[in-house]
Chain A
């Protein structure tokens, strides 16, 4: 579904990603871990198409299409979803209005009829249960005055409504208490199907207790330096990242 080959990316001339390769198949959950500054969030942003990052080398194919050729909105319409680490606030625009605009633009791209107000509301109702989100929150201005947990829940709610084929969760666990974390993880797990895939970007192993990955990749200095099963995450939790750093310097020296 997603094929990343030798991806290099830079911001304002500073290289951040230095040759990442990754294959993701439908139904899989991949965790990307790594210390601060290793390039985890950059990878998420590059896949979503954020302007500031310049891809200097490599290719990314998504469902057979060259992802890097597509605008951010077309990537979203093709089924790439990014749950933001810091969801932005849009004053005066209700979550409902925002999501309806999004859903209908995605549907238009796919040649589907727009959803009318009634159908859209019933879709909302159905998905609201999934992430245990309060209807009152959705009639408020998007993310404005939301707590950290409410913002993250809202991200997962949007994901539920938009039904992406590839979901990228960028540090979704940051700033969440354990109860909110469980709710968010539960939402993600319920949305899992055989057809879609998930990339979980995280610093800590904690989230992976609830969203169990098929593969764990360790990112360090813009490269994937180690891949393994979910046991790798536990090992990292146990030993910290220094162990990886030493192992790398050991092999390169």
Chain B
């Protein structure tokens, strides 16, 4: 075995950094999924009847559906009756602001390097922290509310802004959209809600941090972002989970609504537990993310850095309904050891002069499988639609796989659609060249991979970009061939 392979191996077999869990008292739903489970969750959250009905409708539909088998991933059949659908850390009393949150819970986030203490926070980022099923606290609420920006947990939004929630919930991702979206609609526990009023440029990054802690518990969060006319928001999402032998299910839904001239930037750094180096454990990440550019000249941009999860199934998409609207998708997906990822995007051009851009960079190492699946659809009315897609794959070692499944569906002859794809390998020659200049093999891999992913990393907010670079290096430590 060559040295490069050894490095690759070492890199890829690196232990997961966030693999710890904490014991705390939890409020849990009984195991299994029936209408009663849903009623239990809904009453626990003191929800209005319309929402319970909405959940039940989704559940009944879900029961008629089959789990999708078209993704290029393999995993044992999930027993949905063996899972727990709700787990919340017990807090002595309901906190009215972040300073009243149980210090034990705050410690969990401190350990993750995310301080929820507002004084300690760097300027410019407001955080909503979600632990297992519920939001434990949101920072900078007062500052934001002065501008009319609402940034809170989903449950709170249901109570405080029921009209907004009722209007937009399920408007982008209907409760019957797909198997996992239906499941989420039935049992979603919490998540983040964000509303940017007309003409407001949100002055700070809004960030949600998801952490799964409890065993055998699915996390089903729901995020809803509404950007009114001429508003702007940049939204960040981070995820980690403890290292457990059993697989855990994460089925989230994110909906974004952009009105006229609004711009929403959504960035994710996903670092769920990927399973150990033998492929045991890890998170099943089955997520539906979709945004609608409803107004003219609106823009939605997805940036994702996917390093974790045992199995990923995720296609952040844009519906370009407004004329001159823009959809963007920038993705780096890294798979290592036995990880499997089937990820990509859908760009649906409905309005005139709509534009979309897809930049996907897959990196496969170890024995992993990495698939890009993307669809570009140009509808009849969408004159002069333009799309540019670039899908690159980087292979490390000779036991992994990279696959590309582009679908193009055009119903208007004025459309201009370009697709470029490349596959490359980190060569021993590249590593040796770096070595010969005094650069260690680990740093050489980091340098090469970051160079490869640069176009996507450049899209991330500064602070996140640095973290993502480190994460890429860490995920791939030792993986060259």
Contact = CB atoms under 8 A, between A and B. Distances in A.
Is chain B a partner of chain A in the same complex? Answer: yes
B81 interface: no
Contacts of B450: 92-93
Contact of B437 (A50, A97, A102, A141): A102
A33 interface: no
Interface residues of A, number: 31
A77 B439 CA distance: 9
Given A51-B2, A51-B428, A76 B451 contact: no
A48 interface: yes
Contact of A90 (B2, B430, B440, B441): B430
Contacts of A109: 438
B3 interface: yes
B433 interface: yes
Nearest to A80: B436
Given A51-B2, A51-B428, A88-B429, A82 B451 contact: no
B452 interface: yes
Contact of A82 (B430, B436, B447, B452): B436
Nearest to A110: B438
B205 interface: no
B439 A105 contact: yes
A72 B438 CA distance: 8
Interface string A55-72: 000000000000000011
Interface string A74-95: 0111000110100110111100
- B interface SS class: helix
A81 B443 CA distance: 19
B40 interface: no
B451 A91 contact: yes
Interface in A87-139: 87-88, 90-93, 97-99, 101-103, 105-106, 109
Given A72-B432, A87-B433, A105-B438, A92 B451 contact: yes
B432 A77 contact: no
B15 interface: no
A178 to B, nearest CB: 27
B166 interface: no
A106 B443 CA distance: 13
Nearest to A75: B436
B455 interface: yes
A92 B2 contact: no
B427 interface: yes
B476 to A, nearest CB: 15
A93 B429 CA distance: 15
A72 B429 contact: no
B445 to A, nearest CB: 11
23 contacts: A49-B436, A51-B3, A72-B432, A73-B439, A76-B435, A76-B436, A77-B438, A84-B433, A87-B433, A88-B427, A88-B429, A90-B430, A90-B434, A90-B448, A92-B450, A93-B448, A93-B450, A97-B447, A103-B438, A105-B443, A106-B438, A162-B437, A162-B438
Interface of B: 2-4, 427-430, 432-441, 443, 447-448, 450-455
Interface of A: 48-51, 71-73, 75-77, 81-82, 84, 87-88, 90-93, 97-99, 101-103, 105-106, 109, 141, 158, 162
